[in-house]
Amino acid sequence: MSVAPLVQAIQRRLHAVGYQDLSTPLKVAGVAFPFTGAMRGRDGRALDLVLLVDTTTGDFGDRDGARVRQRVEALSRALDVTASRYVVTLILAGAALAEGVETLSETCRVLQVENIALGQAGEPADETAQRQLDDRIRVLLPLTLPLAPTDPATGSGPAMDQLILALQEGTDKAFLEAIVEASATGEAAVTEAAASAVGQPFANSTEGEPS
């Protein structure tokens, strides 16, 4: 079975952010489910199961929306039987399917990738094409925020720079570093880091006192 260039471009993009190929047909609960491709994430996305359907070549009846829906629903039932915690994402690569796809969103996340300009090697032809591909599978990609220029005079710029500018000069450096480091993980981590940093001096001052 030949893999369409668009499918290969999607796979390469997901490989770049840590997704790994699974053998196909995908076997769950002793049943084989044919898909153009199957991938799974790793680390924080280890429960992501990505299914690729090539709607252009139409392998496995993939031009028929009803057949695609039936296969995905059957796979979903098999995953339920095995108590799997996979979160399924179906990528339709190529022409949009005419029918049967709308109800798929009740079973899994559905992404449509079409009309991406590709170069001779099968990669996005230019930055615009790369951005279009990324936009259509954005939910599977790591979150990246663009760096905005900072103006020290006005305090405009990234939130972290504004925070540093707003702090008094005497702010404890260790406290600031703990907050900044925790901010990459999320709000809960910042709260925990702040509580730990603030509570440490009180803990030291009460050492030796009766409980």
Structural domain of 194:
145-200
pLDDT digits (tens, 9 = 90+) for 139-158: 999 876 555 555 555 545 55
Whether 33 has a pLDDT exceeding 90, the answer reads: yes
Kindly give the residue spans of alpha helices, DSSP state H, lying in the chain: 5-16, 65-81, 127-136, 159-166, 173-183, 187-205
The pLDDT assigned to 204 comes to 44
What pTM was estimated for this model as a whole? 0.69
Q: Is residue 158 one of the residues assigned to a domain?
A: yes
pLDDT digits (tens, 9 = 90+) for 94-116: 988 877 677 888 889 999 999 89
Number of domains in the chain: 2
The pLDDT assigned to 85 comes to 93
* Residue 102 and residue 193 share a domain: no
* Residue 44 and residue 70 share a domain: yes
Q: Is residue 132 one of the residues assigned to a domain?
A: yes
